[in-house]
Structure 1
Amino acid sequence: MGAKNVQTARFGIVHFGIGAFHRAHQAWYTDKAQDQKQDGAGWSIVGISLRSATVAQQLNPQDGLYTVTECSPGGRAVRVIGSVRQVLTASEQPEAVAAAIAAPETHIITFTVTEKGYCRTAEGSLDPELAQEGSIYPFLGRGLRRRLDAGLPGLTLLSCDNLAHNGRQLENLLTAYLRKQDPELAEWTARTCTFPCSMVDRIVPATTIADLDAVAAAIDMEDRGAVVTEPFSQWVIEDRFAGQRPAWERVGAELVADVTPYETAKLRLLNGAHSALAYLGLEQGHTFVHEAVADPAIRPVIEQLMRDEAAPTIPAAPGQDLGAYADALLHRFANPALNHRLIQIAMDGSQKITQRWLETLLESRNRCPAILTALAAWLRHVRGDNTAIWGAVDDPMAEALALAWKGRTSAEAVHAILGHDGVICGESALRSSDAKELLALIDAKRM
């Protein structure tokens, strides 16, 4: 596929969670850097799939090459990506994963393992029952221990997931794991490794058969690893690296001292609006984001959520225009060439709504009826109201959430889920005034 060949390059980066988003985002930035013969030249990625061998089966026979297609109303632009050197399946190749982390040429480990991949309790601490074999932590522990034993330097561990203060969360969770398993390694990691925060933004729908057919027609060959995305992309990274790195900032990434205003805006505006579109749109029978945002009953709720409720809670960085950001998001959501499925966004809601909605509710000085409307739709979704059309609820806490509804009134279920001792609890528990308004929305006639 094309003329790119990175097999002679040092790989430099190990990435956990080599799904479609990573291939359309971090790997895309790395490819642009090396392709332009800048400081990123020579860098490539060893991708790690934690369980499924699907991506390895797609990319390894293609020498790691695949295409990224940017879709817009004006057409499609296809780029061949050559930054992925190989893909390992961790469950089948644990020794190779440890060796990649411990390789002298490795300087950075990046992560897109989704919110649930961090194995957190409802309060945000490490869940020891989840942080077992198969999670990221044992693999990191084995690889980092080899580096320590070999006298190699520490690494940059760069989270690219939608978590507030994602670098700090990764640092705290990994430290908690290592302190129990290997206290010496925990101390070495704290002393030699860094955990920058980052914000990533690009809409990447699941690739369909129609997408694969379109790519095959465009490049005159099959690409089993193709991904589709929008023209827009953003990557903001805290400039706190333990060693060498590609010159990502020369190809569009932003290196900053503090990521917080950018990640908060992304979580509360883009991600918050996305989740609201998902649950409200599914109830209305919509399949795609662009259909939901065009619905005259839904769009005003989304605009109110972003402009009137979320934006006032965000301390913007100098030059950060939240109004313009909301305008751009609405334009991106309406892209009819990007079939982003609502049911994909609706996955794992229990892991997302705290930072997307509940933190805004807690910080806002005003009523937030749009967020409460969306929250009511999520509660109906996890109750099972949408299963007849959209299938079973896809959430790691689906069973606990369904049990919280079983045989209970709406008031009892809200307390069981969002109360101080609920399924989603702690500081994110609802205020009594919000809970009262939420109950009226749950039981009211739907949109």
Structure 2
Amino acid sequence: MSPTISAKRSGNRWAIALLGTLLAFAILVLQPGAASADTTDDGQEVTDFYFAGVVTFDDEPVEGVVMTIKGGGFEGETETDAEGKWRLYVPEKDKYTLTVDEGTLPDGVIVDAALLPPGTQPIAGTTASFEVEFGLTGTKIMNLFLGEGQRVTVSFIDQLLSRLVGGLNFGLLLALASMGAALIYGTTRLSNFAHAEMVTWGGLVALVFTSFWDLPLWLGIVAAVVGGGLFGWGMDAGIWRPLRHRGLGIVQLMIVSIGLSLALRYIFQYFIGGSTRQLPGASPQPIQFGPISLSYIDLIAMGVSIAVILGVAYFLTRTRIGKATRAISDNPQLAAASGIDVDKVIRYVWILSGVLAAISGVLWAYFRPGVKWDMGMQMLLLIFAAITLGGLGTAFGALLGSLIVGIVVEVSTLWVPSDLKYASALVVLIVILLVRPQGLLGRKERLG
């Protein structure tokens, strides 16, 4: 046996050992969650998460006001008791829409816009329906004060500006994950379904270092970035490179990625449970910039995303490895014939993709907010949509596609229910591909 073959096999064993160590790390530090099956008198299933409060008018409780909660496929309803108190249990920490049935309010009485709880974001231009989300705990108190007068509405332009900024924020963090997945596809032609779990891994590592081990947030973020890079390196060295060298086709590799995705996802679920866990500082008080409401975390997230994207652009256009990456994406056979070490470049791409996915996972945990076992899977379809929309295999196309998807998702809530906002991005994808099948920045390919 030649020393070269022996060294390669030794490297593969080290990569497999690294992947095993990373999974063992998750097993040791994460604990399974448990659910409760109790119910309340009005039929609600008791969970660890609920919204509650008191509805008053002129400092007197108001009985019989109907409250509804919608979001994440869940819908619940209750009404205030004789003391004006109400409580609604939800299955998990997420963003929800709380609506007060105006027909159950006393005549001439509205929800006072000036006295809404801090951070409340009105929906559809009225104060009777608004977005609510949890803070660091599983309880959110929403005391509502009623007043007399006419309904205060938010103008369409103000709502549009607010949604545009929210869509830009979402599009930037989506771009981090999409650009990494696009680079993998460009260099290997692999549609990596396990990319979702690379996003989840970044959030989990940050959660372990901060919430479990009580270490500073900056250290958790550094650990997530390093862990993401190691995870990407280990996946290529331990799984994808050996499979490529065995001559597996693209369809076979894609099926392997689907199986790997399922395995990793349910390993995460088993050890972290089905609940959503918070990173430090989640759900901060928003800052008003006219009609636009942003928290300091939103501002930091947008700044970090832009800085990282500019760094990736510099890497691809100004460095030797970046130029080699683009050469392999254009023509891998010609790149190899010109002396480029294709396997080495692909290894760097996997490391970079892991880092970008980890950063996106941390930002996604603050955007939703919360770390959950399937948080990456919730982004996967949008990642593929952004890559396809921008043009397969091009990182800059993935960036453009992500920005379009993010803005469309958020702005579409002005006309469609929030539960359907992700579907609106797919509709735009279909329409654009009917006009430009190769994507916005993709190149036409000759078939046959």
The TM-score normalised by the length of structure 1 is 0.29
In terms of fraction of residues, the more helix-rich structure is 2
When Rg is computed on C-alpha atoms for both structures, the one with the higher figure is 2
Greater length-normalized contact order (CA 8 Å, ≥ 6 residues apart): 2
